[in-house]
Amino acid sequence: MPAFWDASALVPLCVLGQANRAIRRAFDAHAPVIWWAAAVEARSALERMRFERTITEAAYWNSRQRLDQLIGSCREIQPTDAVRDLACAELERYRLRASDALQLAAAFVWCKQNPRGRLFVSIDNRLSMAARQIGFQVPEF
């Protein structure tokens, strides 16, 4: 069964030693659906790690390669008026950053605005809380 993956949950899958077993099991069990800009957000996280030297140059390039492969295996939700409008509405209800509102809106579009029984995978606490309030199942990691 597919699951919507927030960019925050994709990054640990790409950087060796950062993903716990639960995230790996979730990825193996649930085909990833992502927001159109998730690749940019995940890449931004890798670039920050590189510039802050929290990963080596070799680890950065290996992580980039894994990210490219991972993104290539995902179904992407494209930017549409519906995603934009839902994201704006979510900003009124939840304390979210714009990028998180867009990811949550994309997930809502993916499930045709019926999140019951649908999995939303994120390690961002604020986004996870909003996804739960909307009705998604959000695993704890």
Per residue in 97-127, pLDDT (tens digit) is 999 999 999 999 999 999 999 999 999 999 9
At 42 the three-state DSSP class reads: helix
Both tokens assigned to 61: 């390039």
The answer, as to whether pTM is greater than 0.85, is yes
Percent of the chain with pLDDT over 90: 92
**pLDDT, tens digit (0-9, with 9 covering 90-100), for 25-59:** 999 999 999 999 999 999 999 999 999 999 999 99
Domain boundaries, the chain: 3-134
- Give CA separation, 45 vs 10, 39, 108, 114, in Å: 10, 10, 24, 30
User: Which CATH code of 3.40.50.1010, 3.30.379.10, 3.90.226.10, 1.10.286.10 fits the domain covering 3-134?
Assistant: 3.40.50.1010
- pLDDT given for residue 25 in this prediction: 92
